[in-house]
Structure 1
Amino acid sequence: MKTKLFLFLIISLLSSQLYAQKGFPFDNEIHAFKQLDSLNMPKPGGILFVGSSSIRLWDDLEQRYAGKPIIKRGVGGSELWQWVQYFPQYLIYPYKPKKVFIYAGENDIASGRSAEDVAGNFEKLWEMIRKELPATEIYFLSIKPSPSRAKFYAVVAAANSLIKTSVAKKPKTKYIDVASTILDPKTQLPDSSLFKPDYLHLKSTGYDRWQTVLNKYVK
């Protein structure tokens, strides 16, 4: 027990110094994940979910897939380009997952990035994961249209289309359409009843819709 505590303190100190030196974005969140790992590192071969707040705020993800080796590493507010530049060596590679599910890109678009830029960053991230973890299956969860970001619907659709086309040519990779599951069948617009009051983040009922399409892949 003393040895584990000692290692925890050393890793915490080194991690804090490393992030401070690099001006690391979201350093508190990453530091917290590394502290958890130092105490109970997930075994290789798990099912990893990474991305922005739609992953971080999925509070019952592990419970929905009880018995599965789920690892949740969502960073609220993060953008896809940051997952390319900063996060893989801390929140993807160390876990050596069997599968990695990625939800990111929505914040990039809201900050003004183009569909082509988002698709290009997914391409970069895919290449990085494939090089480091050649056996890992990669799943991209389509970017959802959120009512509070209605002005970006066209860009969201374009980015999803580009990534879907790209993924179709890649081995051990799938595009999962979770976006259409939250649409009102009559209007083909996002069903606002599935969202929290901010009309950006999903309620549990919204995640119910996601789960209907994810079940066949989370196994």
Structure 2
Amino acid sequence: MKSKFLLIAALLLSTTLFAQDQKPKLAYPFEDEIKAFKQQDSLAMPKAGGYLFIGSSSIRKWVDLPKHFANKPIVMRGVGGSQISQWVKYYMPSVVYPYKPSKIFIYVGDNDIAAGAGAQSVYDNFVTLLGMIKQNLPNAKVYFLSMKWSPSRAKYYNEVALGDMMIDAYIKTQKNVTYIDMNTTLLTPASKPDSAMFQKDMLHLNLDGYDRWEKVIAGYF
């Protein structure tokens, strides 16, 4: 009888500990990162009129940008491996509108394509995203950073190029919106992705890759 009681107690204890180890289920992708931004803003809210960088891990990992342009009001808000569809659906009210930026730099789209979305979907979501910005931040200038050709995603190059081309063509019809070619600077003289600009995963840029991006982006500050 005693051994049976001890067994039940042990089972109850292990169940309780297991439940405590489980993280709360996120209401939407990368919700924990959005909450971290809100917590950070509650301690020191960036001043209005800054240069806001939003998008996926290519923005999140660009940690040296504010250091190299310390005289510019740069606000970095990269979110995980986010997709443009998620920015449209979840993040704009929390990660864009409150900062009242004068300039918004956007890097998104290649994660959508890698997840199975086509160039048309990325284009459609960009049109929606731009409309949201114009409605809520009509004075902000918007810059779309072209999607890069990551060596690990070579099979998507054509779709990425098509998405960039469609977005570039649309931007040419808009006011206060600029398309920035961020991909060419990462290519070899033979117009192929330079693996020396990427981390070992051949997906994310290394410091040399970001240095090249910074030379491009400096002309828009």
TM-score, normalization by structure 2: 0.88
Q: Which of 211, 216, 220 lines up with 1:213 in the alignment?
A: 216
Post-superposition offset of 1:115: 0.4
Look up the SS of the partner of 2:106 in the other structure: strand
> Which residues of 2 match residues 121-136 of structure 1 at below 5 A?
121-136=125-140
For this pair of structures, how many residues does the alignment match? 198
Q: Which has the larger radius of gyration?
A: 2
Residue 124 of structure 2 corresponds to: 120
Residue 15 of structure 1 corresponds to: none
Whole-angstrom CA distance in 2 between matches of 1:183 and 1:21: 41
**Unpaired runs of 5+ in structure 2?**
1-23
1:182 aligns with 2:157: no
Look up the SS of the partner of 1:100 in the other structure: strand
Look up the SS of the partner of 1:216 in the other structure: helix
Aligned-residue sequence identity (percent) comes to: 51
> Which residues of 2 match residues 1-219 of structure 1 at below 5 A?
23-186=27-190, 188-218=191-221
**Unpaired runs of 5+ in structure 1?**
1-19
Post-superposition offset of 1:24: 2.2
Post-superposition offset of 1:76: 1.5
Post-superposition offset of 1:72: 0.2
Whole-angstrom CA distance in 2 between matches of 1:202 and 1:47: 21
Post-superposition offset of 1:149: 0.3
TM-score, normalization by structure 1: 0.88
More divergent stretch after superposition (49-58 vs 205-214): 205-214
Q: CA 1:46/1:197 → structure 2, altered by over 3 Å: closer, same or farther? A: same
